[in-house]
């Protein structure tokens, strides 16, 4: 066995039988002793991946101005909860707060709340945001009442998914068990019973089609939408994903390279592409207006990333100016495989807002084409 967690999971499977993919992901990422987020520093060049806020300050600055614009669309309430899900090292929120210092009254109104369960990451966030008053909560539902603007960048992709497969005899669920050599191995459990709507989609698909569902993701999106619909506000989700469809997107990342999903449990990050259609539908069912999903590149372009880059370059040395250009391309490039195309932006807002910065009238959900694979 490759890791300490692999040994634990093998013993658990041997005693109780295979686990579904969601259970495997949850153990790999969040096990209290051996989970990836418990034991690793995932962010930055020394970690396993680099997120948009680590690439350039422009990303968080533009999201900060997006939040301030939403606040003004709400009538500039005197009290506001400014929250972030999965805030990493606090880099994005620091950029958000720096950019919004120019907005009269925004900082006086905003109570900053970071939703973070990890004590280790809370310490890093506190250091990054030492100049600002910050509150922490362990779960979204623990956020104080009041009008809410919420940001979530690369949060939903780490939530555990289940995988269902259309077979010749019905629907099976992909499971993690043990192979003949005793190592972790994928298999199928027949006669699976997903949600009726998901079952209907699969039964209408071709044999071999694989559907990923993220029950915790749609539940959280629904809770957020219900909150902003009830108390006012807006939420912005940015992640890599699609607008619905079939295909296996579960992947492992270790030291900035792809890894086998079952090879190093607890030592590699596990993610799956986000189904933005499912999040949007959950948000609409809870009373919110859904905007998007649209490509990250288009979203940042509409928020003015090109103009922001030019302002930064005006005072930069040639080498720094070249780095700003490279960061802009990396964040907003629309070529195949670039972040600007792979990543999507989805907003759930109170219907009275009617829209949000970065989204055009035609971006009201449903938009885009189904992604079939």
Could you tell me which residues come within 8 angstroms of residue 326 by beta carbon, excluding any fewer than 6 positions away? Answer: none
Rounded Cα–Cα distance for residues 257 and 255 (Å): 5
The pLDDT confidence band at residue 369, using thresholds 50, 70 and 90, is very low
CB neighbourhood size of 3 (10 A)? 16
Q: What number of residues does the chain have?
A: 373
- Taking alpha carbons only, the member of 348, 302, 338, 308 closest to residue 325 is 308
Structure confidence at residue 42 (pLDDT): 63
Residue 189 scores a pLDDT above 50: yes
Domain ranges of the chain: 20-32+162-213, 40-159+214-363
pLDDT digits (tens, 9 = 90+) for 286-311: 999 999 999 999 999 999 999 999 99
Q: Is the pLDDT score of 47 beyond 80?
A: no
d(CA 356, CA 164): 35
Per-residue tokens: 302: 């509409």
Residue 46: predicted pLDDT: 52
Residues 82, 67: contact at Cβ < 8 Å? Answer: yes
Give me the pLDDT at residue 368, please: 42
pLDDT for residue 1: 57
pLDDT for the residue numbered 51: 87
**Distance separating alpha carbons of residues 195 and 212, to the nearest angstrom:** 12
Question: d(Cα 97, Cα 310) in Å, to the nearest integer?
Answer: 21
Which helix (H) or strand (E) element contains residue 325?
A: helix 318-332
Torsion on CA atoms 88, 57, 154, 29, rounded to nearest 10:
-30
pLDDT at residue 338 in the model:
86
Summary mean pLDDT of the chain: 93
Give me Rg for the CA atoms of the chain.
21
Element of type H or E holding 233: strand 233-242
Please measure the distance between the N-terminal and C-terminal CA atoms of the chain and give it in whole angstroms.
33
Question: How much of the chain, in percent, has pLDDT values that exceed 70?
Answer: 95
Binning pLDDT at 50, 70 and 90, where does residue 238 land? Answer: very high
**Is the Cβ–Cβ distance between 292 and 365 less than 8 Å?**
yes
pLDDT confidence band for 264 (50 / 70 / 90): very high
Question: Is the pLDDT score of 367 beyond 80?
Answer: no
Q: How confident is the model at residue 239 (pLDDT cuts 50, 70, 90)?
A: very high
Burial tier of 32 (Cβ tally within 10 Å: 0-12, 13-18, 19+): exposed
pTM for this entry: 0.92
Task: Please provide residue 191's backbone torsions phi and psi, each rounded to the nearest 5 degrees.
Answer: 60, 40
Measured at the CA of 163, the angle between CA 226 and CA 154, to 5 degrees, comes to: 50
Residue 206 is given by DSSP the state: P
Burial of residue 269, with CB atoms counted within 10 A of its CB: 0-12 exposed, 13-18 middle, 19 or more buried: buried
Q: What percent of the chain has pLDDT over 90?
A: 86
CATH of region 40-159+214-363, choose from 3.40.30.10, 3.40.50.150, 3.40.640.10, 3.30.450.40: 3.40.50.150
Give yes or no for a contact between 51 and 343, defined as CB atoms under 8 angstroms apart. Answer: no
Structure tokens at 86: 């999965």
Whole-angstrom Cα distance, residue 27 to residue 32? 9
pLDDT digits (tens, 9 = 90+) for 67-111: 999 999 999 999 999 999 999 999 999 999 999 999 999 999 999
Asked if 107 and 137 count as a contact pair (C-beta separation under 8 A), the reply is: no
Tokens linked to 20: 């579904």
Confidence at residue 370, expressed as pLDDT on a 0 to 100 scale: 38
């Amino acid at each position: 066995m490759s890791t300490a967690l692999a040994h634990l999971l093998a013993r658990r499977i041997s005693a109780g039988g295979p686990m579904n993919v969601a259970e495997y992901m949850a153990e790999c990422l969040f096990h209290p002793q051996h989970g990836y987020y418990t034991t690793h520093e995932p962010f930055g060049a020394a970690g396993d991946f680099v997120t948009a806020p680590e690439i350039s300050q422009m990303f968080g600055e533009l999201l900060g101005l997006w939040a301030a614009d939403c606040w003004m669309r709400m009538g500039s309430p005197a009290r506001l909860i400014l929250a972030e899900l999965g805030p990493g090292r606090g880099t994005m929120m620091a950029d958000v707060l720096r950019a919004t210092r120019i907005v009269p009254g925004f900082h006086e109104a905003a109570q900053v709340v970071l939703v973070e369960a990890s004590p280790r990451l809370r310490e890093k966030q506190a250091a990054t945001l030492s100049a600002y008053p910050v509150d922490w909560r362990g779960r979204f539902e623990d956020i104080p009442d009041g009008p809410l603007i919420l940001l979530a960048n690369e949060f939903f992709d780490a939530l555990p998914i289940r995988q269902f497969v259309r077979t010749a005899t019905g629907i099976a669920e992909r499971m993690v068990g043990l192979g003949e050599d005793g190592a972790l191995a994928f298999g199928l459990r027949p006669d699976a019973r997903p949600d009726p709507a998901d079952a209907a989609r699969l039964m209408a698909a071709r044999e071999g089609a694989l559907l990923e569902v993220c029950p915790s993701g749609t539940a959280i999106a629904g809770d957020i939408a219900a909150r902003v619909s009830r108390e006012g506000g807006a939420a912005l989700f940015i992640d890599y994903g699609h607008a619905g469809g079939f295909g296996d997107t579960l992947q492992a990342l270790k030291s900035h390279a792809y890894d086998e999903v079952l090879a190093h449990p607890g030592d590699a990050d596990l993610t799956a592409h986000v189904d933005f259609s499912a999040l949007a539908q959950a948000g609409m069912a809870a009373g919110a207006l859904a905007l998007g999903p649209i490509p990250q590149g288009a979203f940042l372009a509409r928020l003015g990333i090109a103009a922001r880059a030019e302002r930064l370059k005006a005072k930069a040395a040639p080498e720094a100016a070249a780095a700003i250009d490279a960061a802009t391309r990396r964040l907003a490039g629309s070529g195949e495989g670039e972040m600007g195309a792979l990543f999507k932006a989805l907003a759930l807002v109170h219907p009275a807002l009617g829209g949000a910065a970065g989204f055009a009238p035609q971006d009201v959900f449903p938009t885009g084409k189904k992604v079939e694979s």
